[in-house]
Amino acid sequence: MAGYRLPRGGGRIDRSRGIRFSFDGASVGAFAGDTVASALLASGRTLVARSFKYHRPRGVFTAGSEEPNALVTLGAGGNTEPNAKATIVDAAEGLVVRSQNAWPSLGADIGAAGGLLSPFFAAGFYYKTFIGPYRGAWMLYEPFIRRAAGLGRASFEPDRDRYETGHVFCDVLVVGGGPAGLAAALEAADAGARVILCDDNIGVGGALDLEDGIQGQSVADWLFATISALRAFPNFQLLTRTSVYGYYDGNILGAVEQIPAPADAGSRTRQRHWRIQARRVVLATGALERPFVFPGNDTPGVMLGTAGLAYARRYGVAVGREVVVFTNNDSGWTQAAALSRAGIQVRAVVDPRTAVPGRPAAELSEAGAEFLSGHVVTAANGGKALSSVRIEVYDASTGHISGAARDMRCDSLLVSAGWNPLVHLASQAGGPPVYDEQLAAFLPGEPREAWRAVGAMAGTFGADDAAAEGRIAGAAAARELGFELPGKESSGRAAATEGKRRNADNLLPLFEIPAEGKAFVDLQNDVTASDVRLARQEGFESVEHLKRYTTLGMAADQGKTSNLNGLAILAAARKMPVPAVGTTRFRAPYNPISLGALAGRARGGHFQPLRRMPLHDWHVKAGADMMNVGLWQRPRAYLWERETLEHAYVREARAVRQSVGITDVSTLGKIDVQGPDAATFLDRVYTNTFSTLAVGKARYGLMLREDGFLFDDGTTWRLADTRYLMTTTTANAALVMQHLEMLLAIAWPELRVSLASLTDHWAGIAVSGPNSRALLERVVDDIDVSDAALPVLAVRAGQLSGFRVLVARLSFSGERAYEVYCGADYAHAVWERLLASGKDLEVVPYGLEALGTLRIEKGHITGSEIDGRTTVHDVGLDKMFSMKKDFVGKPLALRPALTDPGRKQLVGLKPLDGKAVLNGAHLVAGADPKQPGRSQGHVTSMCYSPAVDGYIALALVERGRARHGETLHAADPLRGGHGAIEIVDPCFFDRDGSRMHG
Amino acid sequence: MLIPCPICGERDHGEFTYGGDATIERPDIADRDAARWAAYVYDRGNPRGPHSEYWHHVHGCRLWMVVTRDTQTHAVGETRLVGFWAGAETR
C-alpha cells in the first residue's frame, strides 16, 4: 500500500461528488474529476499493468498522455477501447476498467515466467533465436510467442459510436493552453485576429498548476482573469480535450477532440476530427520531464517528479508515504519542496551534483528530509511494489560510482532528470531539432511553415518568461496579418529585444546510471539499455536503425519518455556527442488517433457517393438483385420467386434470343463531340477511321492509351457533319472524358472541338432479340424502323410515344437489336411503353448477367479483356488498326513486344468436365494440381450459356489463335479448382453473324 | 496544398487531378518514331525544387493549367491556363 488520498487539496476533483468504477472486477471509489490513475493511486493500488514482452509488474509512471505503463482496457463489446492510458481517462460512475496482458490475474500472471527466458528475447530476437531445428520451425513457436506478448485486445464487434468531422479556418492557431499559449491567444484576439486555442487537457492552464504564482498573482487568479478576458472576445474559439496531432503543408493541421461520454452511454458521438487551416501558428506545446535509466527503474512506485506533484495538486493524492526524490537539476528540488508543503513525507533527495539549491533545500530539511548530494540511485528494489532504493556515491567529474552502497526504505521514488521540449509539431513542419548543451535536450529547428515556438518547448522555462514570450509571439503573428492595436506596437517590440533566457536549472546532464541489473529505456516496449548497446554492437548504429531494430519509441506512447535517453545511450556507446547521432524523423500523429476519427461519417453506405440509374427505382421494385459497379448500382438480374441468380440470368438470356428483351444501358459514357475539326479529332483518337463515317451511321471504335495498349471501346455515331455522339464503357466514362480534354488542351490546342458529357443527361435502353423490330415499330411515332430505312449501324432521330429519341441499330448481344436514347427524365415512360406494348411478345427486362452472357457467347470484349495489358492484336481485332492514319498510341503499339506472336490471345474455352470454369483461373498444362506447370494464360469471363447449353468462358492464352482444339487445365488453387478445358473459337454462337440482320 | 486556379481562385488540391509533367514536349501526332514516343511516355526526371506540371480542375472549371510546384516543399507558385482558354485569365 503506497498511495493514499490527502485530507485536503485537489484542484480538479469535487470531493462532494463521490463515484465508483470497477477495476478488474473490484469496486474503486473516486471523486468527480479523478482520472482512473489518480483514483487507483488514491486507493493504494500500485500494480496496474504487466509489460508487453516480459510481463513485468508495472505501475503508474506519469500524470499525462506520455504514460508508458498504465494501459487499461475500457468498456466492453463494440465499445471496447484497449490501450487506454489510465492517466488521462476520466473516472466515471459505472466505468468498467480491466488490466491487460495478464493471465489469470494481474497479481499472478503466468506470463511473468517468460521473464526468465529474457535472454532469448533480446532486441531482434526473431533473427537470432527460435530458428531451429528445421526450416520453418519459427512457425511452431510464433503463435505462443505472439500470444504471450501484447497489450490490449481489440473487439471484433462493430463500433456503434459516431465520429464527426469539422473544418475550421482561423488567422492564428495557438497549440497549447499553458501560460505561453494563453498569453499569445489573448494578445492576438485583442488585436482583432480570429484565434483558435487547442489544448489536449480537460481545461487550460497546462503545467501552471504546478507553479506557485505567475506575474505576481496566484495561479488561480491569473487563470481566471486570462480565461475571462479570452471568453469576452467573439473572435476567440477554445477547443479543449483537443490534441493537435499533425502539422501539414500550407499551414493545415489535424486535431482530434474527445467528446466526454454522457451519463447514459449508449451509442454516442465519441470524437471529432478537426481539419484546421490557419494563417499563422503559435506552438506552445510545453516540455516533458524525462527519467533516469537505472536498474529496476520500471518498478511500480517509480514515477516522474512532475507526476508526483501533479497527483498531489490536481487530485489530492499522495503517491507514497515515504518518498525519495532523485534529481540532477533545481526543478526537482522545487517539486520536492512543493510536495512536502502538500503534506507528503519526503525522506530524502538524491542528487549527483554537489551544490544544492538553497531555498527548497531549507524548506525540505525543516520537514526532516535527508540530502544525499554527490550520490545516485543505482537500483530500485521490490517486485510488484517499490520497497527500497540503493544509493551510491557518484563522482560527477569522472562519472564513477563507488563506495559503500546504502539501501533506503521507501515506497515512492520520484525521478527528475531534465526536461524535453515537445518539438514534435515544430519538427513535422520544419527542419530537424537543434541540440542545446545546457538543457541536454533538443529545441525546435527552422520553420518550414508559418509557426513560431514559445514557452517551455522553445527552452523558455518559468511561467513569467513563458507568458511574456507568448504575448510577443501572439502580437507578432497578428501584426503580420494586419491586426494591431494602436499603442501596443512599441511595447511589444521592446520586450522582444530582451532576448530569451534559457533557464536550465543548473542541470547536470546524466541519462544512465550504469550498474548491474535490467535498466529500461522504453518502458512500453520493454527495451533495455543493454538492447540499445546490443543493436549498436550488431551494426544497427544509426538512430533510425536503432528504433526499428529495438522497437524503442515505437509503442503507443511513441517514446515520449524514452527517445532522448535511448539516443544518449547510443551516443555514449558510439563515443559521439548526442547531436551527432540526431533524432529519428518526426511524423504525425503526435498521439495515436483512432481510425474512426479519420473515417468520420464516411462509413458503410456513406463511404462513397452512390450513382443511381434513371430507372433505379423501377429495377428495385421489380425485384432486381442490384450490384455495385464502381459508384453505380446496376441490376444483375430480375429474380423471380425461388430463382437463383444463375436461373434468372439464363432465363433472361434465353428469352432475348428467343423473342425480345430490354435492358438499361444508361451508365455507358456518352460524350457529345462537336466542331469543325470533330472528324479529324476522332480519327486521331480511335484506331479506326471516323471521318469516313456517313451522317446517320454508327461505328464501333477502339481507343488506345499513349503506350499502345487498349484503353476503351465503344460506338460513336455521326449525327451531323460536325457532330458526333461518342459512347464509352461505364467504368472509363470519366477517364475517356479527361483524356479527350487533355488532348484538346495540351496536344492539339489548334483543333476546334467542343466536348460535353451527356452520361447523366441521357438514358439508354437496348431492345434486343428477333422480335425487337416488331416491338419498336409499335412504340415509335415517326421513325421508319424497317430494315431498308434502318439498316445495321444506322442512326435515326425522331419521336417515341411523344418523346424525342435517338434510335441506333447496334447489337452487343449479336441478336437483332436497337439502342434507344432519350432524356433521362423520360426513361421511365419509354421503358414502361416498351413493356406494355410487348406483352404478347413476352418481352422481359434483362440485367447485367444476361447482358454479359449474351456477349460472351458472341466473343465480344469488355473491360474484362481490356484490362490494360492487352493490345488490339491480342483480342483479334487487327482489322480495326488502321495503317493509313496516325492516332494516339500507334507508334508504341507497333513495338515488337506488343506484336509478338507469343503473346496471350483471346480464345474461347469449353470445360471438358461440364463444370463451371472459374473466372480468373490460370491455364496450365499439368493435369495434377500439385504439378500444374507454368501459367500460359488466364480466364477473363465465364457464364452458363443457354445457347450451347453448357458453361463457357473467354480467356487469354499464349498463341491462343493457333491452338484451337488443344486441352489445358484451368487451375485455381485458392478456390480449389483444376478442370480440363478445350481451347475453341471465342464466338460460340451464330458464327456468321446472321442473327443481327434478322 | 492549395492551387490558385486562374478562373476559380485558390482551391484545395483535392478539386484537381494531376495531369503530368509539363516540361516535356509531346511529339507530333504524325511522328512515328517509337523511341521518341517511349521517351515521352516513360522517361521522367525527378527534379528537386520548382517544377512545372499540368493540373486539371475537374471539380471546378474543368480547365487544364500549368502549375509551378516545388517538389520538396509543395509551395505552389504561378499557374496559367493552357489550350483554348490560354490567356483568358489576363483579359
A746, A757, A885: best mutation site toward chain B, by most B Cβ within 10 Å?
A746
Collect all residues of chain B within an 8 Å Cβ-Cβ radius of residue A749.
82-84, 86
* Angstrom distance (rounded) from CA A541 to CA A215: 47
d(C-alpha A665, C-alpha A783), whole Å? 21
Q: Does A739 touch chain B (CB under 8 A)?
A: no
Which chain A residue is nearest to residue B57, measuring alpha carbons?
A738
**What is the nearest CA distance from B55 to chain A, expressed in angstroms?**
10
Closest CA relative to residue A3, chosen from A243, A269, A316, A459: A316
Q: Give the alpha-carbon dihedral of A639, A645, A647, A652, to 10 degrees.
A: 60
Counting one residue from chain A and one from chain B, the pairs whose CB atoms sit within 8 A come to: 61
Query: ipTM for the complex?
Result: 0.97
Of B83, B22, B30, B67, nearest in space to A754 by CA: B83
Residues of A in contact with B40 (CB under 8 A): 706
Contacts of B31 in chain A (CB under 8 A): 891
Residues in chain A with CB shorter than 8 Å from the CB of B26 are 746-747
Find, in chain B, the residue whose alpha carbon is nearest to that of A893: B34
What are residue B3's phi and psi, to 5 degrees?
-115, 125
Q: Is B59 on the interface with A (CB under 8 A)?
A: no
Give the one of B26, B37, B38 whose C-beta lies nearest to A747's C-beta: B26
- The answer to whether A746 contacts B83, with C-beta atoms less than 8 Å apart, is yes
CA distance to partner chain A, nearest, from residue B50 (Å)? 16
Contact A741 B56 (CB under 8 A): yes
Q: Measured between CA atoms, how close is A447 to chain B, in angstroms?
A: 12
CA distance A334 to B17: 58
Three cell numbers at A774? 416488331
Which residue reads 468504477 in cell numbers? A21
| pLDDT score of A493 | 46
b/e sequence A870-883, b meaning 16+ C-beta within 10 Å: bbbbbbbbeebbee
The residues that bridge with A382 in the sheet, in sequence order, are none
Distance from CA of B4 to the nearest CA of A (A): 13
Judge whether A885 is closer than 8 Å to chain B, CB to CB: no
E-assigned strands of A331-374?
Answer: 346-351, 370-373
- Largest CA-CA distance found in chain B, in angstroms, rounded: 41
Give the residue carrying C-alpha cell 535527508. Answer: A370
Cβ of B56 within 8 Å of Cβ of A890? The answer is no
Q: Is A748 on the interface with B (CB under 8 A)?
A: yes
**Residue B82 sits at the chain A interface (C-beta within 8 Å):** yes
Inter-chain residue contact B41 with A748, CB threshold 8 Å:
no
Strands of A388-395's sheet in order across: A375-381, A388-395, A400-409
Higher pLDDT, A763 or B1: A763
Q: Where are the beta strands (DSSP E) in A794-903?
A: 795-800, 803-808, 817-823, 844-845
Mutate to test the interface with A, among B36, B37, B71 (most CBs of A within 10 A): B37
pLDDT at A487: 67
CB contact under 8 A, B29 and A886: yes
Nearest chain A Cα distance for residue B91, angstroms = 19
Neighbours of A832 (CB within 10 A): 13
Asked if the C-beta of B18 comes within 8 angstroms of chain A's C-beta atoms, the answer is no
Contact present, A165 and A273 (Cβ < 8 Å): yes
Interface of B with A in 23-52 (CB under 8 A): 26, 29-34, 37-38, 40-42
Q: Where does chain B show beta strands of DSSP type E?
A: 2-5, 9-12, 17-21, 50-56, 64-70, 76-81
Identify which of A554, A562, A277, A549 has the alpha carbon closest to the alpha carbon of residue B1: A277
Nearest CA in chain B to A739: B19
Q: Which cell numbers in the block locate residue A414?
A: 520520484
Q: Does B29 contact A741 at a Cβ distance shorter than 8 Å?
A: no
| 10-residue mean pLDDT series, chain A (998 residues) | 89 94 95 96 95 92 94 86 91 92 82 75 78 79 76 85 95 97 97 96 89 92 96 97 94 94 73 97 97 97 96 96 96 95 95 91 92 95 94 91 90 96 96 93 95 96 94 96 75 44 79 94 95 95 94 92 95 95 93 93 90 96 94 96 93 96 97 98 98 98 97 97 97 96 96 96 97 97 95 97 96 94 97 97 97 96 95 96 97 96 97 94 96 96 95 98 97 93 96 87
Give me the residue label for grid cell 461528488.
Answer: A17
* B32–A886 CB contact, under 8 Å: yes
Q: Is the pLDDT of residue B60 over 80?
A: yes
Inter-chain touch A250–B74, beta carbons under 8 Å: yes
Residues of chain A positioned with their CB less than 8 A from the CB of B32: 886, 890-891
Q: Closest Cα of chain B to A744: distance in Å?
A: 7
pTM score, whole prediction: 0.86
- At A120 the three-state DSSP class reads helix
Edge-to-edge strands, sheet with A817-823 = A795-800, A803-808, A817-823, A762-768, A661-664, A844-845
Contacts of A707 in chain B (CB under 8 A): 41-42
Residues 6+ positions from A721 with CB-CB distance below 8 Å:
A679, A695
- In chain A, residues 390-449 whose CB comes closer than 8 Å to chain B: 448
- Tell me if A249 and B19 make a contact (CB, 8 A cut-off): no
Q: Which residue has the cell 520500471?
A: A298
Hey, is the C-beta of A250 within 8 angstroms of any chain B C-beta? Answer: yes
Pairing of strands A904-911, A977-984: antiparallel
* pLDDT tens per residue, range B7-56: 999 999 999 999 999 999 999 999 999 999 999 999 999 999 999 999 99
Q: Which residue, A844, A889, A793, is CA-closest to A658? A: A844
Q: How many CA atoms lie within 13 A of A955 on its CB side?
A: 34
Q: A251 CB contacts (<8 Å, ≥6 apart)?
A: A277, A278, A279, A280, A281, A449, A450
C-alpha cell belonging to residue A907: 480464345
C-alpha cell recorded at residue A938: 488466364
User: 533557464: which residue's cell?
Assistant: A503
Among A278, A272, A186, which Cα is nearest to A227's?
Answer: A186
Are the beta carbons of B37 and A747 separated by less than 8 Å?
A: no
Instruction: Count other Cβ atoms within 10 Å, centred on residue A994.
Output: 9
Handedness of CA A377, A380, A385, A387 (dihedral sign): negative
Q: Is A250 within 8 Å of B40 when comparing Cβ atoms? A: no
pLDDT of residue A497: 39
Q: How far apart are CA A121 and CA A405, in angstroms?
A: 31
Contact at CB, B74 and A748, closer than 8 angstroms: no
Contact A325, A349 (CB under 8 A): yes
A602 touches chain B (CB under 8 A): no
Residues β-bridged to residue A805: A798, A822
Q: Do B19 and A749 touch (CB under 8 A)?
A: no
Distance between CA A431 and CA A282 in Å, rounded? Answer: 17
d(CA A122, CA A129): 9
pLDDT at A988: 96
Give the residue on A whose Cα is nearest the Cα of B74.
A249
Q: In this complex, do B32 and A747 lie within 8 Å of one another by their Cβ atoms?
A: no
Nearest-by-Cβ selection for A892 from B1, B41, B73: B41
Per-residue pLDDT, A101: 85
